[in-house]
Structure 1
């Protein structure tokens, strides 16, 4: 269980950092927020991969396609986060 949590954090950090490098512009995110975006992106990428290819993680946890899917999912989550985060709380 502890190994799974540590691997989720590492994959989240890698996917979140790569997503921040891919998406242009300045993002004011901390390292824990980058990890969180990467972890959520991993779930989004895994879900999209399952919907498109109808395969899940039966062949192992670390796969190149899983890392790529995690990065794609993290980019999607980061773009949504930046779009929602740029809204002002006061509407006129």
Structure 2
């Protein structure tokens, strides 16, 4: 069940990150999910490092860090993906 929640969270985080970025990101949905999962893990690590991982109510700062990390990763991966040569 944990893997299913990681995939769902990765999808949501990845899609929000794509919405934050300007322009079109021609990467596939599976890559968005993987980047969202990685961004979520990085955001959780940053939230723990800044001591904002557990706050009362909704952890908006942690979620912002997760989406921000995923947005940076998508911004880095998109040019690499579009520069790939199709065989």
TM range, smaller chain: 0.7 to 0.9
Q: TM-score, normalised by structure 2?
A: 0.74
Q: TM-score, normalised by structure 1?
A: 0.71
- CA RMSD, 1 decimal: 2.5
Inter-partner Cα distance in structure 2 for 1:78 and 1:54: 24
5+ unaligned residues in a row in structure 1: which ranges? none
CA contact (8 A) 1:11 1:67 kept: no
Inter-partner Cα distance in structure 2 for 1:18 and 1:24: 12
Cα pair distance change 1:8/1:88, threshold 3 Å: closer
Rg larger in structure: 1
5+ unaligned residues in a row in structure 2: which ranges? none
Inter-partner Cα distance in structure 2 for 1:17 and 1:53: 26
